[in-house]
Structure 1
């Protein structure tokens, strides 16, 4: 679709269902340029038909605010979409066979990149050895991230690409024949990504933006940083998103600051980011045994890894608050979340709690929570940027969480109902490519959490994945279909609309017109998810499903 520099025109959409708090029975909507102008009934729509540039017959389609994915890694996602994806590997032998086939099919790639292996799912539970990878790749540089992106396996040739001044074998997290973690992983990742050509990077990013648009996503929160993707990667992504029609990208840069005068603050602004946040690591991940816990892992004799002290967190939050930027931290383990809360509270004691609350600092993932830490998140105004598909991938009494933590601790993870009840703002995302871009699947995962007491209603989950994401980027007027709001919306083909609540004692029911409660698609597991027909960002169509 060519980039159209002209201002978007006016359009009347009619003959469908419009999901709007302004009118729960709306069947039509008028958009004027980049703004929603009117929402109402089919009969009243007749008065607008002659005064707009376009009339769209919805043929019963559902119109909703477009989704916001509040945590993505665009280049890595694009590489997984277009490259070596090991998420479906059945076992170690299957993974090695896929690596060999990919290497044979891409003789011109300087570095082979892949993602998604998860040895916890394989018989024997063993990751590939370096010798096995060397053989499978034909001796070429190969970098393969684990599903959680917090560890990787690499070939000997990839290690040789790490700059000579960096002795990777001396870095924390290096092992001669096991997955790399911590600083050793970061060094290997930088070397692998540095081998990408600008065109490879741009094509990967373009693939992500196009795929997101095809799903009804209008905004992506890119979680970049010096140990994740690099400055050139972030600026290139922001430039691409500004040049070509597609989802908008909101950038976060994960680098710690010590004061408002710190060069980090200047760098964040120069990069075009809105915060020194995202994957600023307070800890690692459960799958890689690097999430920081108060008590040892059930399957390892340690408590994981802490990357930031409470004092460092307090300095960073104070610096960002004074600079008018969002701060944020990747925190999964309960000890890491405690450190973040204590650090934010120390900054609030220095600057005033109202000032810190107003900044809307973020906690990414925030999985291992207690009633006390949930209450603290609410008190400090911290936004919980969470990924419900994690529970689908690793939850349950037989899942990876239970392997790492034991069943009882695992059942406490990702308590969305308790977060909402306490008043903690939620923003939903995928952490793609850790889990896939899949907004309706994400809403389903939150509404049908494996642990019933953590479930929230479909309506609450949908709001967290639309308006919640925009509020997390401090755009309160967006993410909802009401007159005066930005024209970011999507059209979906779906079945009957229902109201679903997280109470197993009450069945799903079709919306009663007398209730004034708008319905959403039936997301009961096993039902078909809605299909996106069109995505509009700022009044411009950025995706339209081909006629079938």
Structure 2
């Protein structure tokens, strides 16, 4: 099969490489210790003894010295430029208090006197003892009156300076502007557009390269970029898709009801963060029952109804594009399900299922909506780090919803039992790029009944990402598959016993199942030594 995502073969991808004396995670051979890569594809996997037959006919032999080789990860939901800006700019995710955040903001502003705009990310007042974000007058003083755009950890609200508001005529009349409170809705989208428009092209490209280089250093071979007119800009999106140089693949989704615009921009789908609702942290996820910690009767924000969803899914299906929606609250998920079902009645269920439409986040699921996802062939693009960060009896979810409703969130085991395809990602910079951390978070979910096996989570973070873009021939190290792989330094490999997928482990070779690292909380996660994308090395750890 011709790989439309494969870039032209770089020079080093033409070479034939033999990797040997390691552990190769392959369903083709659960005991494989060697692999041959030729012209950007896996040519062979097998045992060390059989590898001798290839040794004289290859361009390079790599001694793995016991290292583990796995398929490269796919992060199914990334905001690349915002990730790069967070990595190179003002990151408040570690701020422990209002005063700590203020100190970081002032230091950052003083260190960058020539920036046209200051951009930061990651504040979360729910974690601060003061329980409130910085006010605009405080930000004005900290920045010396310069434009500042500072997003909450979930990126669904932001605090800004007066100077930035003044750059957006009419913003004070838009939905989501409440003087003295963080911006949400249309007001937030307008200010975000102005903020990112002020970022110079060179600074934007630097941020994109930084983000992709960081992804490669973590064994990520492909990212799904979730752009859109309310999230980034057309220049940002096309600039990323056209970025030169080695690095992870970028599969672009453009969240726009204008499907021809999405197609013209080179997007795989008019999908991604096409907002049906907002987020739980910002009280904008759309719920059937009110928030537990907000004004009486507050149900969040609804941006698209079932009729709008249906029209978009029909248009995308007929155009041969993927549709996809951001839906977190249970009312938002219901609207998506009702809309996709209505679309299936118009164009046929088989065509809907074949299109592999997506839902991003899909956190508040019920047995009925889970069954509907399975029926309609919807992929759930999910972020296990959300549960790790905000789940549990005392987490943000419980604060927003009450403990009983919070325990229903992110039901990965039920989704897999129903046959719903899962694709794992980070939503970076909302939570960091951290693929093994995501696998661990899914396997050790804060709600035990939602836990899945390490193997299932790993598959969802590798093959699941490929399947989410319509590719069933990638994401596993088998002959003929694209040679996207990572080499890891790790501890003992283990196989989870089928009768207890978390607590008990087996190393019995008779299982015939490829082993994976022990991700029990407290253990060190694997360290990436090398990442290869379509046969081209895109990362090598120094001194390794």
Q: Is the TM-score greater than 0.5?
A: yes
Aligned counterparts, 1:172-187, within 5 A: 172-187=175-190
Aligned equivalents of 1:484 and 1:223: distance in 2?
29
**Structure 2 gap segments, 5+ residues each:** 1-8
1:26-70 superposed Cα distances (whole Å, 9 cap, x missing partner): 000001111100000000000000001000000000000000000
**Equivalent residue number for residue 74 of structure 1:** 80
* Partner secondary structure for residue 14 of structure 2: coil
- Judging changes above 3 Å, is the alpha-carbon distance between structure 1 residues 503 and 124 closer, same or farther for their aligned structure 2 residues? farther
- Judging changes above 3 Å, is the alpha-carbon distance between structure 1 residues 505 and 381 closer, same or farther for their aligned structure 2 residues? closer
Aligned counterparts, 1:185-200, within 5 A: 185-200=188-203
**Equivalent residue number for residue 204 of structure 1:** 207
Aligned equivalents of 1:190 and 1:11: distance in 2?
46
Structure 1 residue 108 corresponds to structure 2 residue 129: no
Aligned equivalents of 2:309 and 2:388: distance in 1?
31
**Equivalent residue number for residue 233 of structure 1:** 236
CA RMSD of aligned residues (A): 1.2
- Judging changes above 3 Å, is the alpha-carbon distance between structure 1 residues 193 and 320 closer, same or farther for their aligned structure 2 residues? same
**Equivalent residue number for residue 61 of structure 2:** 55
Which residue of 391, 395, 402 corresponds with 2:398?
Answer: 402
**Equivalent residue number for residue 224 of structure 1:** 227
Which residue of 130, 152, 155 corresponds with 2:158?
Answer: 152
Which residue of 406, 410, 417 corresponds with 2:413?
Answer: 417
1:336-363 superposed Cα distances (whole Å, 9 cap, x missing partner): 0000000000000000000000000000
**Equivalent residue number for residue 315 of structure 1:** 311
Which residue of 500, 516, 521 corresponds with 2:512?
Answer: 516
Report deviation, 1:265.
2.3
Q: Is the 8 A contact 1:361 1:381 kept in 2?
A: yes
**Equivalent residue number for residue 11 of structure 1:** 17
1:422-459 superposed Cα distances (whole Å, 9 cap, x missing partner): 00000000000000000000000000000000000000
Structure 1 residues 497-506 or 398-407, which shifts more? 497-506
- Judging changes above 3 Å, is the alpha-carbon distance between structure 1 residues 452 and 37 closer, same or farther for their aligned structure 2 residues? same
**Equivalent residue number for residue 127 of structure 1:** 133
**Equivalent residue number for residue 382 of structure 2:** 386
**Equivalent residue number for residue 360 of structure 2:** 364
Structure 1 residue 46 corresponds to structure 2 residue 65: no
* Partner secondary structure for residue 77 of structure 2: strand
Q: Is the 8 A contact 1:497 1:510 kept in 2?
A: no
Aligned counterparts, 1:145-544, within 5 A: 145-162=151-168, 164=169, 167-240=170-243, 243-256=244-257, 264-300=258-294, 301=296, 302-500=298-496, 507-544=503-540
**Equivalent residue number for residue 261 of structure 1:** none
Which residue of 33, 37, 41 corresponds with 2:43?
Answer: 37
**Structure 1 gap segments, 5+ residues each:** 257-263
Q: Is the 8 A contact 1:456 1:501 kept in 2?
A: no
Q: Is the 8 A contact 2:309 2:336 kept in 1?
A: yes
Report deviation, 1:510.
3.9
**Equivalent residue number for residue 117 of structure 1:** 123
Aligned equivalents of 2:65 and 2:363: distance in 1?
41
Q: Is the 8 A contact 1:287 1:400 kept in 2?
A: yes
- Judging changes above 3 Å, is the alpha-carbon distance between structure 1 residues 535 and 7 closer, same or farther for their aligned structure 2 residues? closer
* Partner secondary structure for residue 273 of structure 1: coil
- Judging changes above 3 Å, is the alpha-carbon distance between structure 1 residues 480 and 276 closer, same or farther for their aligned structure 2 residues? same
Report deviation, 1:419.
0.2
Q: Is the 8 A contact 2:13 2:534 kept in 1?
A: no
Report deviation, 1:501.
5.8
Q: Is the 8 A contact 1:13 1:55 kept in 2?
A: yes
Report deviation, 1:4.
4.8
Aligned equivalents of 1:59 and 1:253: distance in 2?
43
Aligned equivalents of 1:226 and 1:506: distance in 2?
42
- Judging changes above 3 Å, is the alpha-carbon distance between structure 1 residues 488 and 168 closer, same or farther for their aligned structure 2 residues? same
Which residue of 62, 65, 72 corresponds with 2:71?
Answer: 65
- Judging changes above 3 Å, is the alpha-carbon distance between structure 1 residues 112 and 506 closer, same or farther for their aligned structure 2 residues? closer
Report deviation, 1:513.
1.0
1:386-439 superposed Cα distances (whole Å, 9 cap, x missing partner): 000000110011110000000000000000000000000000000000000000
Report deviation, 1:499.
1.6
* Partner secondary structure for residue 365 of structure 2: coil
Aligned equivalents of 1:226 and 1:505: distance in 2?
42
Q: Is the 8 A contact 2:157 2:184 kept in 1?
A: yes
